[in-house]
Structure 1
Amino acid sequence: MVFKKLLGSLGLGGPTVDTVLSHGAVLPGGPLAGEVRLKGGERDVEIEHVVLELLAHVEAETEEGEQHGTVAFERFTVGGGFRLAKGEDTTVPFSVVVPWETPVTELYGQSLGIVLGVRTELGVAGARDKGDLDPLTVRPLAVQEAVLEAFGQLGFGFLSADLEYGRIAGTRQQLPFYQEIEISPSPRYSSVLNEVEVTFLAGPHGVDVVLEADRNGGHGVHGDSLARFSVTHEDVGRTDWNTMVDGWVRQLVEAHAPDGGAALFGAHPHHEGHYGHHQDHGHHGHHEEHGHGRRSGPGVGTAVAAGAAGLAVGVAGGLVAAEVVDEVGDFFEGEDEEG
C-alpha cells in the first residue's frame, strides 16, 4: 500500500514521501514493516526526523453527545539526522512492533468496520508535515480468533464493532480507548440477554477477555453485568473453547440472578470444566467513558465475522472522515499539535 504527498507546509518544491507497508495484515503485538521513500525537491534540506504514527477512528461520549475523531496511539521515530539533496532518492526502511492492544480490523478476511491508519510525519529544518493516511489491517491473535469462533459455534451473531474512547475500570488497559465487539445472544440465552459486548486486552503472556452482558430482565435477571477472564496464548491448542466460552456466558447470567440461574439452566446450572482465570467486576457503569448503540445484524454459523462485511465502512473513506473531524474535542490526544 502506497501513498504520496507533496509536503505543502514546507513550501513548493519541497520533498515528497511515499510510505510503503509490507503486504498483509499485522498481528497485535507483532511487527509492522515497510519503507519510507523520500525524493528531494528543488533544494537541499535537512531531514530532522521521520516518524510513523498509528491512528484510530474512535467514538467518545461527551456533554455534547457522541463525537468521533482520531486518536494517535503510538509513535515511532524511524529515521532522521541526514541531508536530502536536491532531486535525491533515498529510502528509510523500518520494522516496528505495534501495541498488543491494537484493535482487530478483520476476521477471516471480512472487515469489522474498525478504521486504523499509519501516518508519516517528516521534520525538515524546524518544520513538519503529517502526510496522508495509509490504512492498517490487523487480524486477531490465535486466542482472540478462538474466542470469537466459539461464540459463533454457540449460535451468537455479530452485530457491530467500534472503538470507545475511555478506560475499563479494574483492568490493565494501556491504550486510551478499547474495542467493543457487540454480538447478539444465541437462542439459548435470548430470553435473558439483549447482547454481549466482547473486549480483548492482549499482552505478551495472554489476553484478558472482558465480557459485558446487557440483560433484558427475563427470569428475574436485570441490568448489566461485567466479568473478566484471562487466558494464555498457549491455551489455543489445548482448550475446549466452546465449553469455556459457554461457561463465561453462564457466569454472567448467573452472577446476579435471584435463583443462581436455575430457572434457565435447571437445578444444576454449573458446567464442569476450565473457564480460565476469572475476575468479576460487578455491574452497571464499568466504563469510565462509555456509550452504547443498538444495531441489528445477521446471525452466524461458525464465525462471528460472517455478518461483518455489510457493516464495514470503506476503510479509506473512514480515514478521510476521521481526519475531517480531528478538532471536534481536545479529548482526542495528540490531535491538537499540528505543525
Structure 2
Amino acid sequence: MFKNISAALGFGGAKVDTILDRNEVLQGGLVSGYVKVIGGKVDQSIEAIIIKLMTKVKQETGDNIEFMDHVLAQYSISEAFNAAAGVEYRFDFEFDLHPEAPITTLAVSNNQCVVWLDTELDIDYAIDASDKDVIHVLPLPAIANIMSKLIEDKDLKLVKSDMESGTISMPGFTNESGAYQEIEFRKSSIFSRGELELSFAIKGDTLYGLAEIDRALRGDTYKRFDISINASEAEIDDLVDYLI
C-alpha cells in the first residue's frame, strides 16, 4: 500500500525518457526517436504517452511582458498499457515538425525563441512523469538565403526574434497555432534609421511572408508575399528588392 501511495505522489513511479535521433531539425523536417519508459516500484496503468511540441510566446499586459508556455502540436504515441514494476519499454515515434514552429538557431543575442518536446505519461490517480527535450530548429535554405541577402546586400542587422501571440492572415494562408515568429532587423549604419520585422509561414511548397517596414519620417508599411520554398536565386533577389 505504501508503495502505491508513493507512486501516486511521484516517488518510485514509472520514469520516462525521450531520446531524439537528432536534436537539430530543419523547418517542417522529420522529428524522430523513441520514448523509454521504466516501470517503477509497483505496477502502474499508463493511459497514454503524450508528446507536446512546445514554445514560448510573448504576452503583453499593459507595461508587463511575460513569456508563456504554448502548445504548437500534440501527439499520442501509445495505446494504454500496464507498466510492470522494473520493466523497460520502448516506443518509437516520428512526425513532421509543425510548420509554424519558430527558427531557434538565428545568430542574434536577443533570441527569445525556443522549441522543446514535453513528454508525459498519462497515469490515473498519480502525478504524471515527464521529460523535456530541446529541439534546435534550422531555417529552410530559402529563408536563410533571404535573411543573408537582407544582411549582406541591404545593410541590415539581425537584432531580435520572438514568438508573438495572435494570428497572421494573407491570401492563401492563415496561421493555426495561435502564435507566429517575428524576426526584427535594423539598419546597421548609425547614420540610418529603419526597421524591418519579418514573419514567415510554410504551407506545402509555398513560403508565405508578412513584412512590417518602419521607415523614418514615412511611417509603417506592410507587405505580404509568397514564394516557392525552392525559389531560384533570381527570385529571392527580386523579393529582397521588393522588401527594401
2:185 to 183, 186, 197: 183
Greater percentage in strand: 2
Q: For residue 174 of structure 1, what is the aligned residue in structure 2? A: 176
Q: Note if 1:241 corresponds to 2:240.
A: no
Greater percentage in helix: 1
Q: For residue 104 of structure 1, what is the aligned residue in structure 2? A: 103
| Counterpart residue type for residue 106 of structure 1 | T
What is the number of equivalent residue pairs in this alignment? Answer: 236
Q: For residue 42 of structure 1, what is the aligned residue in structure 2? A: 41
Identical amino acids, percent of aligned pairs: 28
Q: Following the alignment from structure 1 to structure 2, what is the Cα–Cα distance between the partners of residues 84 and 136?
A: 28
The CA RMSD measured in Å over matched residues stands at: 2.5
Q: TM-score when scaled to structure 2? A: 0.87
Structure 1: runs of 5+ lacking an equivalent: 1-6, 250-339
C-alpha displacement of 1:143: 1.6
Q: Following the alignment from structure 2 to structure 1, what is the Cα–Cα distance between the partners of residues 205 and 68?
A: 31
Contact 2:53 2:116 survives alignment (8 Å): yes
C-alpha displacement of 1:246: 1.8
Contact 1:60 1:165 survives alignment (8 Å): yes
Q: What per-residue deviation string (whole Å, max 9, x for no partner) do you get for residues 125-177 of structure 1?
A: 35452624211110011221111111122121111111111122545112211
Alignment of 1:68-83 (within 5 A): 68-83=67-82
Q: Following the alignment from structure 1 to structure 2, what is the Cα–Cα distance between the partners of residues 167 and 86?
A: 46
| Counterpart residue type for residue 166 of structure 1 | G
Q: For residue 231 of structure 1, what is the aligned residue in structure 2? A: 227
The structure whose RCO (Cα within 8 Å, separation 6+) is larger is: 1
| Counterpart residue type for residue 159 of structure 1 | V
Secondary structure of the 1:105 match is: coil
Structure 2: runs of 5+ lacking an equivalent: 1-5
Q: Following the alignment from structure 1 to structure 2, what is the Cα–Cα distance between the partners of residues 18 and 111?
A: 30
| Counterpart residue type for residue 184 of structure 1 | R
Structure 1 outlier segments of 4+, above 3 Å: 7-11, 107-113, 125-128
C-alpha displacement of 1:10: 4.8
Contact 1:10 1:129 survives alignment (8 Å): no
Contact 2:27 2:139 survives alignment (8 Å): yes
Alignment of 1:1-339 (within 5 A): 10-63=9-62, 65-107=64-106, 112-125=111-124, 127=126, 129=128, 131-154=130-153, 155-170=155-170, 172-185=174-187, 191=192, 193-217=193-217, 221=218, 223-235=219-231, 237-249=232-244
